[in-house]
Amino acid sequence: MKSSHGPRRGTRKKLRKKLREKGKVNIAKRLQKFKTGDRVVIKPEPAVHKGMPGKRFFGRVGVIINKRGKAYMLSVKDGNAVKQVISLPVHLKKV
């Protein structure tokens, strides 16, 4: 049997909410603002699929480079390489 190759493959535990956190997303979390240079943790919100960064960046700390529409562009270190990730604010948490 072939395994799937989708973007959310292997995230059964990563994209699980605690029992008391289930339900609709708080509006304040969707509308939070960040400034350039802020450090944020990439903590995805499983209820919102749009603007979710790749699974390899879950739990990583990044620095906000600039804003792109509703989303933010982050600089994240991945091994020795520095990569740019685009994410909606609902998936970010200030450090």
Q: pLDDT tens across 37-78, in order?
A: 999 999 999 999 999 999 999 999 999 999 999 999 999 999
- Count of H-run helices and E-run strands, the chain: 1, 5
What's the start-to-end Cα distance of the chain, in Å?
Answer: 42
- pLDDT of amino acid 3: 87
For residues 53 and 62, is the Cβ–Cβ distance under 8 A?
no
Closest by CA to 81, choosing from 45, 48, 57, is: 57
**Domain 19-94 CATH assignment equals 3.30.160.70:** no
- pLDDT of amino acid 82: 97
Least confident range of 21-25, 65-69, 78-82: 21-25
**pTM for the structure as a whole:** 0.90
Instruction: Please state the domain extents for the chain.
Output: 19-94
Q: 3-state SS string over 52-69?
A: CCCHHHCCCEEEEEEEEC
